[in-house]
Amino acid sequence: MRALTSYLVFLPSLILSVNYNYSCLGYCFTEGYLVHISNHLSDNRNLSLHCWSGDDNLGNHELSSSAEFEFHFCLNIWGTTKFWCDFSWNHHQYGGIFKVFWVGRKLVQMCNHKNCVWSARDDGIYLLDIVSGIFVKKYIWEAKWHQPQTRGAK
C-alpha cells in the first residue's frame, strides 16, 4: 500500500518533468497555451523583455517595432503555472515586471483557453479579450525602471 501510494505521488511529477520543459512539441497532457507579446510602442522604439516561470527561463529578447515574441507551454498539473516578464524600453526609462500568465478564471477566459495576446503600448500593456476582440489595458509602466538584480519570485 505504501509503495502504491508513493507510486501514485511520483507518477504525476514524472509526467510533469517530462512534459513541462519542452514546450510540449505537439502535445500537452494538460491544457496548452501560447503567449504572444507584441511591441506596439510608437516611434519605432524597441522593447526589451525577459520572461520566466518557476521552471523555465526564456532569456533576453529585444523586439523591434511591431515584432512579436511568443512562447508555448503546458499547464502544470496543479494549475499553478505562472509566467512573468521583465520589460524595459526607452533606455530603461519605462518598464516593470508583470505577470503575463497565471491560471485565473478571468485570464483563461480572455485567452480563450489557448492564446494570451499582449500588446505593449506607450501607455501600458494590454491583453486581448479573444472572444470580444477588445484589448484591455492591464498594466501601466513604471517610470525610471532599472533592471533588478534578483529575480525568481514564485
Give the footprint of ligand NAG on this chain (CB under 6 A). Answer: 46, 62, 64
Least gap, CB of 73 to ligand NAG (angstroms): 23
- In whole angstroms, what is the distance from residue 16 CA to residue 30 CA? 10
| Cβ distance to ligand NAG smaller for residue 86 or 108 | 86
| Cβ distance to ligand NAG smaller for residue 46 or 115 | 46
Beta bridge partners, 129, equal: 134
| Cβ distance to ligand NAG smaller for residue 19 or 119 | 119
Least gap, CB of 97 to ligand NAG (angstroms): 21
Least gap, CB of 62 to ligand NAG (angstroms): 4
- In whole angstroms, what is the distance from residue 116 CA to residue 135 CA? 11
DSSP 107: H
* CB neighbour class for 121 (10 Å; exposed up to 12, middle 13-18, buried from 19): middle
